[in-house]
Structure 1
Amino acid sequence: MAAADSPLQQQMHTLYADHHGWLCGWLRKKLGCGHQAADLAQDTFVRVLLKRESPDVRAPRAYLGTIAKGLVADFFRRQDLERSYLDVLASLPEPEVPSPETRAILLEALLAIDAMLDGMKPIVRQAFLLSQLEGLTYEQIAQQLGVTKRTVSNYMCTALEHCYLLAP
């Protein structure tokens, strides 16, 4: 380590050196795959670096574990989504199967939509999906959810604002 390294760089180096092996092992137990564990361990440390703040050194394993748990949940959700998508593709007649490029684009879009929806409160997400996928009116959504039409309107504003803020 260079003498000119900042205290944050030194702290990150120490955090990585002291806990990378433990994190890889912990993730390997969760995932059953050393390669995926190594990838998610690296992603965990990237998240720590991107925060650009001093990591919680009082409980570094708890800190890293919390970040890694979120990444594991994302990994399994993505895997389930990919599996469902591939099942749908397998059920299509041969002439309707999209090209590999189109499949990759569609999967990327599905993952982006999933990530966007995951950031919404469940009731807001449900109202949004009832509106956008099932074409229900606000009044129909209000009846189905047992809330007022104005509440549905608020849910939709929240959902649309969330989508807008996450849009590239």
Structure 2
Amino acid sequence: MGVGMSWDLQRLFVRHAREINRFLRRRGHSVETAADLTQDTFVRLLAAAPRGNGDNPRAYLHQVARNLSVDLYRRERLVDFVDLPAEDFQGLADFAPGPEAVTYDRQRLAIVARALSELPEQTRMAFEMHRLGERTMQEIATDLHLSVSRTWALIRRAYLHLRASLNDDLI
């Protein structure tokens, strides 16, 4: 079995979201911030294939959550050092995602998870091995007993289906 086949996004969310949320709460984040960062962790999984930890989704999710937490604390620390009167401080832009952005990201996550589940099994496996498992076309073709050109066609079809699903549902 290839690495990517075990990276079922919905299953990972169900299995690890509460754990990631508790991890972020232990790092000192509020309930709301921990919820936002947990969601961002899973959205990040869609946006970027893992580097290292390719065979350990739990470790990868924890690393992403930790990085998002550190980034947020760095941004907050920069603000702490600015000595502004309260009324001037209130006028500063808030760079945290607003409720609309969080809702939008959650909708996109649900759409992508649904679109992945709609793909034929071999197409979904090829896509996950490529996108989440960082496997080459040749490695995937060998594992699935396909030609490289057929593997490329399956992965391209998966990308097109995901893009169409996102465009259809968010327009």
The structure that has the greater radius of gyration is 1
Q: TM-score, normalised by structure 1?
A: 0.44
**Higher RCO, 1 vs 2 (CA within 8 Å, ≥6 residues apart):** 2
Q: TM-score, normalised by structure 2?
A: 0.44
